[in-house]
Amino acid sequence: MEQLTGERVVSDGRVLFLSHKNLYEQEAWRGPGRELETVITEVDAVDVIAPRRGKWYHQRKRNAQRVGKYTSVGLNPGAEKVHLRKDYDLFFTVCEKPSELLNLNAIKDWRKHSKVAICWMTEFYEHNIPYNKSVLNTLLHFDWVLFTFARINAFKSLLGHRVTHLPYGVDNVKFCPYPQRPARFIDVLSIGGRAQATHNALLRMARNDGILYLYDSQRDLAVYDVEEHRLQLSNLAKRSRYFIVNPGSIDEPEKVGGQQEFGPRYFEGIAAGAILLGDQPKGNEPFDRIFNWPDAVIHVPYGSENIGEVILDLDKNLIRQERIRNKNISESLSKHDWVHRWESVLKLAGLQPLQKLQERKQRLADMLQGLRADCLGAGVQVG
């Protein structure tokens, strides 16, 4: 793998990955996408294009977004231009905002150089469709468009058969607590948006009962380094007993147009072997299919003040706790690593996995086998 900027070109990759990391702001929520990028480059033959901001970037970006809102005209938002001099089996990009698709206008003839093109959208909701005409026109050039959320019928109507659902994943090598099994000294970990009533209940427990409740105390999403922030999150998660989860942007229903979707928190929590406390998206078939084992999420309705009672009840049954933790880890290792998601992408592209991918899968399998052997020796159920 080699990272490319501007007009530099190499010839050893079969996959061309367009990364937006040099264009977007360094914010905490970018972590999963950056993590996926890292894993892909470790398990496949990938050339990474990572254009940087050109002159007048912010002004050009605003102009491109205004023009693209109601017209099919796609303008370069100010990214440096890239010229390709070789062909690829697969062009792949992850767009975490619809407007990031405008960055493709900086790559001359990208589609002509790609046998198959696949785009993975992580935040593009049905109610955004009327305001992204040029983006939708760009998506027509892809063989497949993947969405992390379940409600995609409107996109299927516009884009045809090339639309499918692909959920988030996680770097299990980073998040898995096995084999080190660090002490879980954090009682409750809450990242991102939260219900104030539930937060207040946990604050009372922190003040009165001395639990260690770790939560965001700042509103700013900016971080010094996305990858360093991701590492810190993984280290906190696998040292936490309970991990708060809720449907994505449940505290901002206008942002998602009322959709009930699930984001990366659920995958991070199970990978770390934490016990998930919270709500789950209603009427979301993929969620019900993926998290289909007992106690995958201990139900605490969004806004509930009774979370303390739930925790006290769980604390009475250590055997149940261990069963939940081990089951969560085993499900994550076997099904929800980023390598499993990349396998799905390769299948859509008609490409065979490389040896490096098989080696990562074997590493995960070895971790799972070790976990099961330890549980058997201790007389504890995996789940």
Residues 244, 100 within the same domain: no
| Sequence-separated (6 or more) residues with CB below 8 Å from residue 293 | 327, 331, 383
Residues 303, 233 within the same domain: yes
d(CA 172, CA 364): 8
Residues 151, 189 within the same domain: no
Within a domain: residue 372? no
Pick the closest to residue 241 from 274, 210, 199, 202 (CA basis). 274
Residues 151, 177 within the same domain: no
d(CA 242, CA 240): 6
298 contacts 275 by C-beta, under 8 angstroms: yes
What strands, in cross-sheet order, belong to the sheet with 144-147?
A: 2-4, 46-49, 15-18, 88-95, 114-121, 144-147, 163-165
Give the length of the chain.
Answer: 383
| Sequence-separated (6 or more) residues with CB below 8 Å from residue 346 | 44, 90, 352, 353, 357
d(CA 223, CA 243): 21
Query: Which domain, by its residues, includes 91?
Result: 2-165
d(CA 83, CA 18): 13
pLDDT, position 260: 83
Q: Residue 299 corresponds to which tokens in the numbers above?
A: 């139900």
How open is the CA angle 279-281-283, to the nearest 5 degrees?
135
Within a domain: residue 91? yes
| Sequence-separated (6 or more) residues with CB below 8 Å from residue 35 | 170, 171, 174, 227, 230, 338
- The domain that holds 98 is classified in CATH as 3.40.50
pLDDT, position 350: 98
Q: What is the pLDDT of residues 315-331, one digit of tens each?
A: 999 999 999 999 999 99
Residues 145, 196 within the same domain: no
Residues 99, 241 within the same domain: no
- pTM of this prediction? 0.93
Within a domain: residue 374? no
pLDDT, position 3: 45
> What are the E-state strand segments in 142-216?
144-147, 163-165, 186-190, 213-215
Domain count of the fold of the chain: 2
d(CA 149, CA 166): 8
H-helix segments, 167-264: 172-175, 196-208, 226-237, 253-256
How open is the CA angle 276-341-285, to the nearest 5 degrees?
55
d(CA 53, CA 287): 37
pLDDT, position 2: 45
- The domain that holds 200 is classified in CATH as 3.40.50.2000
Place of tokens 């070789």: 86
Q: Which pLDDT tens digits describe the chain residue by residue (383 residues)?
A: 444 544 444 457 999 999 999 999 999 999 999 999 999 999 999 999 999 999 899 899 999 989 988 888 888 999 999 999 999 999 999 999 999 999 999 999 999 999 999 999 998 988 899 999 999 999 999 999 999 998 899 999 999 879 999 999 999 999 999 999 999 999 999 998 899 999 999 999 999 999 999 999 988 889 999 999 999 999 999 999 999 999 987 877 777 777 788 999 999 999 999 999 999 998 899 999 999 999 999 999 999 999 999 999 999 999 999 999 999 999 999 999 999 999 999 999 999 999 999 999 999 999 999 999 988 877 777 76
pLDDT, position 383: 64
pLDDT, position 11: 56
108 contacts 85 by C-beta, under 8 angstroms: no
Residues pairing with 276 in the sheet: 243
Choose the final residue of a domain: 165, 197, 231.
Answer: 165
45 contacts 90 by C-beta, under 8 angstroms: no
Residues 160, 304 within the same domain: no
pLDDT, position 375: 85
d(CA 346, CA 119): 12
Residues 128, 271 within the same domain: no
Q: Residue 38 corresponds to which tokens in the numbers above?
A: 């890292």
Choose the final residue of a domain: 130, 145, 165.
Answer: 165
| Inter-CA distances, 195 with 202, 208, 252, 348, Å | 11, 20, 11, 39
Within a domain: residue 344? no
Residues 127, 104 within the same domain: yes
Choose the final residue of a domain: 130, 165, 200.
Answer: 165
Within a domain: residue 380? no
Within a domain: residue 348? no
